[in-house]
Amino acid sequence: MTATKKPKKRAKKAVLLPATGTKSDMPHVGRAVQGCRCPQCHTHRLEERRDERDRRQIEAAENDPMTGAVQFGANATDEFRNSLNGGQQ
């Protein structure tokens, strides 16, 4: 047994605490780190892409009248229109 004990090496982290000091902004945990391939960062990037897709869909549907009526394309046949809404428009 040795008398002196080696001090434990501290894990190296790029940023120990974020600028805000809150855990919700911690790298890997609260947000993705650029170039990192860990599962947490992967999930953050996945969620960012989903958020972006949702944002685009919401933006595209912003001026949708949302009347509940079926909107037909110009090439829809009368038979098709009748089968869906009973012949209206």
| Helix, strand, coil abundance in the chain, percent, nearest 5 | 35, 0, 60
* Position 18 contacts Zn ion (CB under 5 A): no
Contact 27, 14 (CB under 8 A): yes
Q: Token pair of 38, please? A: 């860990």
Which window, 4-12, 18-26, 41-49, 66-74, contacts Zn ion (CB under 5 A)?
41-49
Which window, 4-12, 27-35, 51-59, 68-76, contacts Zn ion (CB under 5 A)?
27-35
* Position 25 contacts Zn ion (CB under 5 A): no
Question: Interface with Zn ion by CB under 5 A: which residues?
Answer: 28, 33, 36, 38, 41
